[in-house]
């Protein structure tokens, strides 16, 4: 695969040129960006693959929902519906998409909507709900909307500053666009990350003076949800780990560190399981999966548990994020 990606380098140059021209057209006003009256917070990345956007959206919901009416707008990737859709108690995971459905299930009082047209989605939410703030999930590269506050995520093991354009690399947008972010979070760091390495990463990201660069790691809940309730119980079971996420490596590493033996069935991100695949999984003694995969599997399997994950910040720097959010939310537009 790596050899093939290198062979496709000429295509990545063409892709990079298209990205450059597109951004340039927005910069000079040939393409227009619209800013809305409702406060908007964008969470996104420059690369394809998992950087922890959904746990970050959940963190923002926890921080903001106590004092503000929060709505979430997502594309709803691979959903089996079209146009704008406002979730209700009857909305299915197939209609909403796995990540928005996961958030709606965890935060039932929060408004969750999906629309590939972010402008239309925001307009609909303003008209139907009138929220105080709209969280834009995976929208950093969607420049038709100018977000009021942008959080850019980049994974420790795949920093955008060291990446290259698709298909040779994983960049879907220019690394220069990082300058539009208000906050940069390096996610999925090792828990023993040294201050000296943080400084090297900050230098490599070429962050601007106004940008805060924070570092986080993934924290897994040892209390499981579903059929099996603790990690210790898994140690005496025949465990099958089922993942349909972009990067399961951190979870695999965590389970190995906990001394859990398992087989790993790895599927593509946002995978919807076929009847034949479900029949195979029904024969397994114990299935452990991610929260995102759980919402696609819970109505089809009984031998199923999932493990929750969230961002934890080094040196209590979460307080810096809270401060920046409060400043944004209390600023008069």
Instruction: Give binding residues as ranges.
Output: 47-54
Contact 230, 285 (CB under 8 A): no
Cβ-Cβ contacts under 8 Å for 253 (sequence gap 6 or more) = none
Report DSSP letters for 18-74, one per residue: HHHHHHHHHHHTSS--B--SSEEEEEEESBSS-S-HHHHHHHHHHHHTTTS-EEEEE
Q: How far apart are CA 307 and CA 251, in angstroms?
A: 9
* Distance from C-alpha of 100 to C-alpha of 84, rounded to nearest angstrom: 13
DSSP 127-156: HHT--SEEEEET-TT-TTB--SEEEEEEET
Report the distance separating Cα 308 and Cα 291, nearest Å.
6
Residues annotated within a binding site for ATP: 47-54
């Amino acid at each position: 695969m790596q050899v093939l990606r290198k062979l496709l380098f000429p295509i990545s140059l063409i892709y990079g040129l298209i990205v450059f021209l597109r951004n340039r057209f927005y910069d000079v006003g040939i393409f227009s960006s619209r800013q809305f009256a409702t406060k908007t917070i964008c969470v996104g990345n420059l690369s394809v693959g998992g950087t922890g956007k959904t746990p970050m959206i959940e963190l923002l919901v926890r921080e903001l929902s106590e004092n503000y009416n929060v709505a979430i707008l997502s594309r709803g990737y691979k959903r089996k519906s079209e146009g704008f859709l406002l979730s209700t108690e009857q909305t299915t995971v197939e209609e909403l998409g796995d990540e928005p459905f996961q958030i709606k299930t965890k935060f039932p009082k929060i408004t969750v909507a999906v629309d590939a047209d972010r402008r239309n989605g925001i307009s609909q939410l303003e008209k139907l709900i009138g929220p105080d703030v709209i969280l834009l999930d995976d929208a950093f590269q969607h420049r038709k909307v100018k977000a009021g506050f942008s959080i850019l995520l980049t994974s420790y093991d795949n920093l955008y500053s060291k990446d290259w354009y698709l298909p040779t690399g994983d960049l879907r947008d220019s690394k220069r666009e990082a300058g539009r972010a208000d906050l940069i979070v390096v996610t999925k760091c090792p828990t023993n990350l040294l201050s000296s390495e943080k400084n090297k990463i900050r230098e490599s990201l070429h962050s601007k003076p106004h940008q805060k660069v924070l570092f986080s790691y993934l924290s897994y809940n040892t209390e499981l949800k579903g059929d099996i309730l603790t990690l210790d119980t898994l140690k005496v079971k025949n465990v099958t780990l089922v993942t349909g996420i972009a990067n399961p490596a951190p979870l695999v590493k965590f389970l190995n560190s906990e001394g859990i033996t398992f087989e790993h069935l790895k599927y593509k991100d946002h995978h919807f399981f076929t009847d034949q695949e479900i029949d195979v999984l029904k024969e397994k003694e114990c299935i452990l999966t991610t929260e995102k995969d759980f919402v696609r599997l819970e109505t089809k399997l009984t031998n199923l548990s999932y493990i929750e994950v969230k961002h934890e910040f080094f040196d209590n720097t979460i307080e810096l994020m809270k401060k920046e959010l409060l400043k944004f939310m209390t600023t008069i537009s």
